[in-house]
Each structure stands twice: as structure tokens, then as C-alpha cells.
Chain A
Amino acid sequence: MAGSIRILDNKCVGCTLCVKACPFGAIVVENKLARIDYAKCTLCGACFDACKFDAIELKKDIAATRDLSAYRDVWVFAEQSNGKIQSVTYELLGEGRKLADSLGMNLCAVLLGSGITEKAQDLVVRGAQKVYLVDKPELAYFQDEPYAAVVIDLVNRHKPNILLCGATTIGRSLISRVAVSINAGLTADCTGLAIDPETKNLLQTRPAFGGNIMATIISPNNRPQMSTVRHKVMKEAVVDASRKGEVLLQDIAAELLKSRTKRIKFEAEAETTVNIAEADIIVSGGRGMMKSENFAILKELAGVLGAGVGASRAAVDSNWIAYSHQVGQTGKTVCPKIYFACGISGQIQHLAGISASDIIVAINKDPEAPIFKVATYGIVGDLFKIVPMLTEEFRKLLKK
């Protein structure tokens, strides 16, 4: 049994504090006594913390029951596209360095590709002490099966303690396969990573329910401890050209490089736009844009700022802009330095996608729009007037 929870009826007063604290709706109070619906309970312990009467008994068996000392080092999966290492990799190296230091372990990177050997140095100067390199024509671009098979093989051979991966399309598709194959715990979209000073477990904190609650998760009995992290959440490791690291070219059995799926072709996004998942600034439009052509004024502002163009679901559903630009719960979660919400009312699903932004600027003619409740700066006014003025001012400022 991994744990158990029960209500101590002699101490429970039916105060309903636990009912309010339960994020899973698993507790009801009947006849002044709390009752747990075990089908819903996840043993998260929120009720235990909330109870003021010590009326909840929680037993959690989270102590390591296996010898995990053979698992060393912090690994980062180095994602590359067309031979270019993706910036999220550098962010993971920045965070991985802190974890490796607090564990007294090495920071290592895993690089898969074709003709990619010289790129290993890019990882060394960002702090990787070892780079496990697999350079094969079959790995030129991401394919689910061979990439997973190679990472699984390397993990089995070298036994990392922690494996971090970007929460990108590729990262999520790859790492889920790896985690299931090697019986490892995997926590998606972590916004905080730290080492528990006592147990040395990786404390992985992530938002759930659209960011309405945060959960801290551990994998006490399985190694490596695996997490994905979105773009821009962690700070990039800085380049230090004096850093030294080993580049370890790995042999891989030909069998592992086979893929049942085949990529037929790749088509780059038609417009050369900034990827909103990576953008430092995003200019977004909603229902208030009125029609497709009006996005031109947002694109102009974005062009001056070097920003990405985003959109609310309402704008995408009206076919004013492609789905790849959609921000929010059914689109992308973003975390830019500045998010301009133009003509976006701020439905909760949209807010869930933008709440990690440093600064939110709302421009909307409706002073009651919910977006103003979260905006750092709000302008109540006509976006068709305000946005071009902003473009002009920023153009002057940046001398473009």
C-alpha cells in the first residue's frame, strides 16, 4: 500500500475546512462528519494541511524502498531542429546546473542528430560537463521511435538521476514514450524544480486546472526523475567559452534506429512569424479585431517590436488567423515579457494561457472586461486608434 487516509470520527467536528481545501471534490460532510470519496481522492494531503482538529490521518509511504545510488548525474535532452539547438535546451542547462550543483553531480546533455558533432560544443560552453552524442543519418530529424529507443538505451547504460526535456511538441512526444518504457515518473510543464535537502528527491512543481492550483510532485522510487519544462520558464545558461567538457560519441545498435513511421515532407509555416511559444513579446487580438484584415495593425506593431502575433479562441474560430497562433487553454500557454491583449475580453481559458506573462497590457473598449482584472496596464479605448499610435511611438523609440 502506497498510502492511506481516513477521517478520525472522534475528532472531526464537521467544519468543512477539508471540503473547501480538497481540489478534487472528494470530501463531503454528512451528519457533521467528513466522508472521503476514495474514488476521487488522490492522497494529495490538501485536507490534512487544512484540518485544524487533527481529525485526518494521512499515511504516505514516500520513502525510497529501492537502492537508487547507482543513478548519477543530471541530464538535459538537447532538442535540435535542422541542426540548430533549440533555446529551450539552454534554459534547461541553466536550471540543470543548479540541480547538479545541489546534488554534487555532473550536468550532462544528450544530443541526437546527423552531422551534428560540432554542435556539442554549444552545449559545453553552456555548462554541460559531458555530452552524450549520437550522430546517425537516421536521426537527422525527430522520429518518435528511433529517438525514444536511443534515449532509452543511453539511460539504461549510463543511469542518470534526473532527465529534463523541453515541453515542446517533440519533447512531449518523445519523453512520454521513454518514461513508460523505463518505468520512470514524468511530470509535465514544471514551473519550479528544486532538490529536497533531506531526501534528495527532485521536487517538481507544476500548475494544474489552468493554473488555479499548483502541485508539487516527486518520484521517490524511480530513476531517472523526469520533467518537462516549457519555453521561457527557466533562465538560459550563459555562455562561458572557457568551459571544458567531454564529448562522448555513442555507438547505437542499428536495430534501434528503425522507424515504422516515415516523414514524407516538412512544410514550414507559410508566414515567417515569430513562434509565440518562444516570443519575448506577443501582440494578441481577439473578438474586438472585427475581421481578418484588421490583424494587419497587430502584425505591424509586432514587426516593430520583433514580437509574435497571438489570438484568442474567438478570433481563431472566426477564421481570422491560423490555429497555430491561438493562446489559451485549447491553444498555447505562453510566458512572454510583455503580452498585449487587444480586443480580448479575457475569458478564463484565455487567462490560463497568459498568466505567466511578466507584463500584461490590455486594450479594450469595455471597461468591465475581465482582462482588466489581471492586466498590469490597462487602456480603456479604441484599439484601432491606440495600436497604430503605439506602433508609431515604439518605431521612434527603436529608431526603425
Chain B
Amino acid sequence: MHFIVCIKQVPDTTDVKIDPKTNTLMREGVASIVNPFDMFAVEEALRLKEKLGGTVTALSMGPPQAEAALREVIAMGIDKGILVTDRAFAGSDTWATSYTLAMAIKKIGDFSMIICGKQASDGDTAQVGPGIATHLNLPQITYVRKIEEVDDKHIVAQRLLEDGHEFVDSPLPCVLTVVKEINEPRLASLKGKMAARKAVITKWTAQDIGAEPAKTGLDGSPTKVVKIFTPTPRQGGQILTGEPEEMVRKLVEQLKDVVVGVAK
């Protein structure tokens, strides 16, 4: 079986700092990482391969430096990395991104399952996974927290909902998006790291995947960013002082109106 994992390179947000003078993001020296949610997708694909046999391909869209993200997951055991990279993709929103990835997947051709993280940590939209499924006219199971059973024809997975979880059966091929609960991603082995260093990353341009210019990048994106600004950072308030009894009394005094209001 052939599994495809879609990954995105994102800034490591633990390093994001706000410049106190200009109130803007300080991006200098911010490391890039694989989107944390995608690591669960990578791990799940590797487990499926170990169980059912086959290969796993990681696919990413991004600038040339996103190659590093693909090498990182190859070190975990992914067989092959493909980067779709082209200046024509700059400014893609989720519509154009899911179109571009879907076109690359069409070029890859034969596959049983596409696995994505539920969302990326920089954009937080959760729109690209279902978008790929729609462009390829595939069924989807989003927010998967556990795979119950799987063979070469179908899958039963648990989808996490707000008030519980449901068991969903889907024929293959299909698209899954996974949540953190599904597994604990493995660390790269030494052997994996060696393989990653030597791996040849396949690079495809817009032309290679047959993407229509009107559907990629800024032109292919229905949404346009018109303004970017920094919100006023949240200010700290009051540190209560005194004996525990006194602090508790002060706090209850401050909160009682809201608490009574909510109770009604």
C-alpha cells in the first residue's frame, strides 16, 4: 500500500518573540520545524506501513528551504520526499494550497490513503485536509484520534467530536486528518538521519504537476490579505497579596459578579 503524508514547514513558535519597541514579530533566527500536528500524521503513516506493508511518501509545498522538513521526516522512516516549489505558489491561501497539493497527488498517482495533521500551527485553519479531499473527490475522516481497523479496502477510525467520538467507516482511498491523541511520534534513529542526509528530494514546479496558473498562488486564492497588524498585547494585572485567606477573599470579591451572572 502507498500512503501519502502532507507536511508543512512552519516557524517554531516557541521562539516567536515580540519586539517590545516595534510590537512586531521578531523573525530573525526563528527556527523552522515540521508543523507539530503533521508529526502525528507521519507517525501514523509509518505505523500503517509497518502493519500493512508498502511505502510512505511525504509531500510538502513551500519555498526551497522546506526541503529540510522533508529530510526531517525521512529521518523518522519516511521513504520518499517530494517538494512542490515554485514562485507561482507564493501567496497561496487554503484554496490554492489544497489545489496545488491535490495536483501533486494526482501526479504521484497510485495511493491508498492521504494523511494530514488536523491543522498547521501558523495558520490554524484546518481547511487544507478537507480541501485536498474535495479537489480529489475523495471521502474524508477528519480529527481522527484512533484507527480501529484497516485493510486494503477500507478503514474504521474514531473521529473526535466536541461531545464524544464517533466510529466512521470509509472505503479507500480516503483522506484522514489526525489529532495529537492518536500517537506519540518516534524520534529519528541514527540510521534514519544518515538516510535523510543522503536522500534525494524530488522537486516539482507548477508546470511539472500541470497546475493551472489561474488556480495557484495569489491569483488562485479567493481570499486576499488587506491588512496585517499587531494586537495590543494582553497586560498583566494585579498580584494579590496577604495571607491565603485574605487573597482568596479579595479574589472572590473581584469575581463574584461574573460568577453569579454565569450561575444564572
**B165: Cβ under 8 A from any A Cβ:** yes
Q: Cβ of B90 and Cβ of A42 under 8 Å apart?
A: yes
> Which of the segments B14-22, B48-56, B69-77, B201-209 contacts the partner chain?
B14-22
**A53: Cβ under 8 A from any B Cβ:** no
Which residues in B have their C-beta under 8 angstroms from that of A262? 168-170
Residue in contact with A176 in the complex, picked from B134, B139, B164, CB distance below 8 Å: B134
Bound-state CA distance A222–B214 (Å) is: 14
Q: Cβ of B24 and Cβ of A23 under 8 Å apart?
A: yes
Which residues in B have their C-beta under 8 angstroms from that of A25? 11, 27-28, 30
Q: Cβ of A217 and Cβ of B134 under 8 Å apart?
A: no
Residue of A nearest to B179 (CB): A323
Residue in contact with B160 in the complex, picked from A207, A217, A324, A376, CB distance below 8 Å: A324
**B108: Cβ under 8 A from any A Cβ:** no
Bound-state CA distance A20–B24 (Å) is: 7
**B156: Cβ under 8 A from any A Cβ:** yes
Bound-state CA distance A23–B133 (Å) is: 30
Which residues in B have their C-beta under 8 angstroms from that of A179? 95, 127, 131, 222
Residue in contact with A38 in the complex, picked from B87, B247, B256, CB distance below 8 Å: B87
**A33: Cβ under 8 A from any B Cβ:** no
Residue of A nearest to B155 (CB): A261
State how many angstroms separate the Cβ of A305 from the closest Cβ of chain B: 6
Size category, A interface? 35 or more
Residue of B nearest to A39 (CB): B63
Q: Cβ of A169 and Cβ of B143 under 8 Å apart?
A: yes
Q: Cβ of B223 and Cβ of A260 under 8 Å apart?
A: no
Which residues in A have their C-beta under 8 angstroms from that of B239? 367, 372, 378-380
**B100: Cβ under 8 A from any A Cβ:** no
Bound-state CA distance A331–B179 (Å) is: 9
Q: Cβ of B254 and Cβ of A44 under 8 Å apart?
A: no
Which residues in B have their C-beta under 8 angstroms from that of A181? 134
State how many angstroms separate the Cβ of B30 from the closest Cβ of chain A: 7
Residue of B nearest to A259 (CB): B139
**B237: Cβ under 8 A from any A Cβ:** yes
Q: Cβ of A216 and Cβ of B240 under 8 Å apart?
A: no
State how many angstroms separate the Cβ of B102 from the closest Cβ of chain A: 9
Bound-state CA distance A52–B128 (Å) is: 37
| Known contacts A208-B123, A208-B124, A275-B163, A185 near B223 by CB under 8 Å | yes
Q: Cβ of B262 and Cβ of A219 under 8 Å apart?
A: no
Which residues in A have their C-beta under 8 angstroms from that of B57? none
Q: Cβ of B142 and Cβ of A219 under 8 Å apart?
A: no
Residue of A nearest to B230 (CB): A213
Q: Cβ of B180 and Cβ of A323 under 8 Å apart?
A: yes
Residue of A nearest to B225 (CB): A44
Q: Cβ of B248 and Cβ of A212 under 8 Å apart?
A: no
| Chain A positions 234 through 275: 1 when the CB is less than 8 Å from some CB of chain B, otherwise 0 | 000000000000000000000000011111111111000001
| Chain B positions 218 through 246: 1 when the CB is less than 8 Å from some CB of chain A, otherwise 0 | 11011111111111001111111000110
> Which of the segments A99-107, A108-116, A120-128, A387-395 contacts the partner chain?
A387-395
Q: Cβ of B124 and Cβ of A379 under 8 Å apart?
A: no
Q: Cβ of B259 and Cβ of A217 under 8 Å apart?
A: no
Bound-state CA distance A166–B227 (Å) is: 24
Which residues in A have their C-beta under 8 angstroms from that of B251? 361, 377, 379, 390
**B192: Cβ under 8 A from any A Cβ:** no
Bound-state CA distance A25–B30 (Å) is: 10
Q: Cβ of A329 and Cβ of B13 under 8 Å apart?
A: yes
Which residues in A have their C-beta under 8 angstroms from that of B165? 266-267, 269
Report A's interface with B, CB cutoff 8 A. 1-3, 20-25, 37-46, 49, 60, 62, 81, 144-145, 148, 168-170, 172-173, 176-177, 179-181, 183-189, 203, 207-222, 259-269, 275, 277-278, 280-281, 305-306, 322-324, 326, 329-331, 337-338, 347-349, 352, 355, 358-359, 361, 367, 372-382, 385-386, 389-390, 393-394, 397-398
CB-based closest 3 A-B pairs = A185-B222, A176-B130, A25-B27
A-B pairs with beta carbons under 8 Å apart, 5 shown:
A2-B218, A45-B225, A179-B95, A208-B123, A213-B25
